[in-house]
């Protein structure tokens, strides 16, 4: 970890914390993992609180509210799944944090189980910096409308923003150094060629009512879109992901149509700015 305040990454750090202010709680029993996550977050300008198990999570939530909990699954006293279920059952909806599971060696089916008990996402350990960035980017402070509410109630809100925030890829370039331009071009190329396949998969899975597969495709396009600065598209994909998670395809066609329209805008803006 470098502390040179003139390094390119320190600029990103400060901007991230200002752009996406979040109250973050880390629930993790392993001290090394605690340090790693605390350090990654502090590089990005976040000061997270740390607790050691699920009981401590429930305790601290009585005194303080959080926008985001990074929740280890296996902890002594009380693990992440039990703690999540109690939070989802007992806390008022408007105080509910976003909960992201931290897990090593996720097994097939784990992800679906985490989502089913009320977690919003998961991060694999060891935590990848880009994945963590992605989680932070799509998290919202309490009291702000959730992405699904925005996508469903006022699609026009998304229209007023540009489809792509170029500063996201510009900052990524600054971090990457010498080969940055080539890497960004590759990334944009890959995104533009892969996304139509993901959209086509979603269409087939809606028709076949294959919810886990629909959820996965929406999740992938969400992550890819956020990574490239296409947050409005990321939010619409998140609405699809939530819908699939709830085991429904009601309204899925409308969301898919929004995804297609938004992707065309994203493609145009990416090609104009980065290719
Ligand atoms: Mn653990």
**How many angstroms is it from 28 CA to the middle of ligand 1?**
6
pTM exceeds 0.95 for this model: no
**How many angstroms is it from 183 CA to the middle of ligand 1?**
35
The model's pLDDT over 71-110, given as tens digits with 9 standing for 90+, comes to: 999 999 999 999 999 999 999 888 899 999 998 877 778 8
**How many angstroms is it from 100 CA to the middle of ligand 1?**
14
Whole-number Cα distances in Å, 122 to 44, 132, 165, 265: 19, 10, 25, 29
pLDDT at position 144, please? Answer: 64
pLDDT at position 138, please? Answer: 79
Q: Range with the lowest mean pLDDT among 9-18, 23-32, 253-262, 263-272?
A: 9-18
- pLDDT category, 1, cuts 50, 70, 90? very low
**How many angstroms is it from 29 CA to the middle of ligand 1?**
5
Among the listed residues 183, 179, 155, the one whose alpha carbon sits nearest the alpha carbon of residue 265? 155
pLDDT at position 148, please? Answer: 39
Strands 98-103 and 68-72: parallel
Q: How far apart are CA 9 and CA 18, in angstroms?
A: 15
Indicate whether 6 pLDDT > 60. Answer: no
- pLDDT category, 117, cuts 50, 70, 90? very high
Indicate whether 20 pLDDT > 80. Answer: no
pLDDT averaged over the chain?
Answer: 84
The model's pLDDT over 168-178, given as tens digits with 9 standing for 90+, comes to: 888 877 777 77
**How many angstroms is it from 73 CA to the middle of ligand 1?**
6
Phi-psi region of 74 (alpha: psi -120 to 50; beta: other; left: phi over 0): beta
H or E segment and range at residue 121: strand 121-124
Q: Which residues are CB-contacts of 272 (< 8 A; sequence separation ≥ 6)?
A: none
Indicate whether 150 pLDDT > 50. Answer: no
Bridge partner list, 123: 102
**How many angstroms is it from 121 CA to the middle of ligand 1?**
17
Indicate whether 153 pLDDT > 50. Answer: no
- Across the chain, which distance is largest between two alpha carbons, in Å? 54
**How many angstroms is it from 77 CA to the middle of ligand 1?**
11
**How many angstroms is it from 214 CA to the middle of ligand 1?**
30
Length of the chain in terms of residues written: 275
**How many angstroms is it from 43 CA to the middle of ligand 1?**
23
**How many angstroms is it from 44 CA to the middle of ligand 1?**
24
The model's pLDDT over 44-75, given as tens digits with 9 standing for 90+, comes to: 889 999 999 999 999 999 999 999 999 999 99
Three-state secondary structure call for residue 275: coil
**How many angstroms is it from 145 CA to the middle of ligand 1?**
32
**How many angstroms is it from 58 CA to the middle of ligand 1?**
17
Indicate whether 12 pLDDT > 60. Answer: no
**How many angstroms is it from 271 CA to the middle of ligand 1?**
43
The model's pLDDT over 230-275, given as tens digits with 9 standing for 90+, comes to: 999 999 999 899 889 888 888 888 889 989 999 999 999 999 998 8
**How many angstroms is it from 51 CA to the middle of ligand 1?**
12
Q: Which two tokens stand for residue 95?
A: 């105080």
Indicate whether 139 pLDDT > 90. Answer: no
**How many angstroms is it from 33 CA to the middle of ligand 1?**
9
Three-state secondary structure call for residue 261: helix
Indicate whether 112 pLDDT > 50. Answer: yes
pLDDT at position 102, please? Answer: 93
**How many angstroms is it from 118 CA to the middle of ligand 1?**
19
Indicate whether 7 pLDDT > 90. Answer: no
């Amino acid at each position: 970890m470098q502390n040179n305040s003139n390094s390119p990454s320190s600029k990103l750090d400060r901007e991230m914390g200002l752009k996406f202010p979040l109250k973050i709680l880390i629930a993790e029993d392993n001290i090394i993992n605690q340090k790693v996550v605390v350090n990654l977050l502090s590089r990005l300008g976040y000061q997270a609180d740390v607790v050691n198990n699920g009981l401590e999570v429930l305790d601290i939530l009585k005194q303080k509210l959080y926008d985001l909990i990074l929740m280890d699954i296996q902890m002594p006293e009380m693990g992440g799944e039990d703690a999540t279920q109690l939070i989802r059952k007992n806390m008022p909806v408007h105080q509910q944090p976003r909960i992201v599971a931290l897990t090593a060696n996720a097994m097939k089916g784990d992800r679906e189980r985490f989502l089913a008990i009320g977690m919003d996402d998961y991060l694999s350990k060891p935590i990848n910096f880009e994945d963590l960035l992605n989680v932070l980017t799509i998290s919202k402070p309490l009291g702000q409308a959730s992405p699904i509410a925005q996508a469903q109630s006022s699609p026009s809100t998304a229209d007023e923003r540009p489809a792509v925030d170029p500063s996201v890829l510009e900052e990524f370039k600054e971090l990457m150094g010498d080969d940055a331009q080539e890497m960004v071009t590759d990334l944009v190329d890959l995104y533009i060629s892969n996304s139509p396949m993901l959209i086509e998969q979603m269409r087939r899975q809606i028709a076949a009512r294959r919810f886990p597969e629909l959820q996965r495709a929406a999740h992938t396009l969400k992550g890819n879109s956020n990574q490239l600065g296409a947050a409005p598209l990321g939010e619409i994909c998140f609405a699809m992901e939530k819908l699939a998670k709830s085991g429904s395809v009601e309204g899925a066609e409308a969301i898919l149509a929004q995804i297609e329209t938004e992707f065309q805008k994203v493609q145009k803006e990416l090609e104009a700015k980065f290719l």
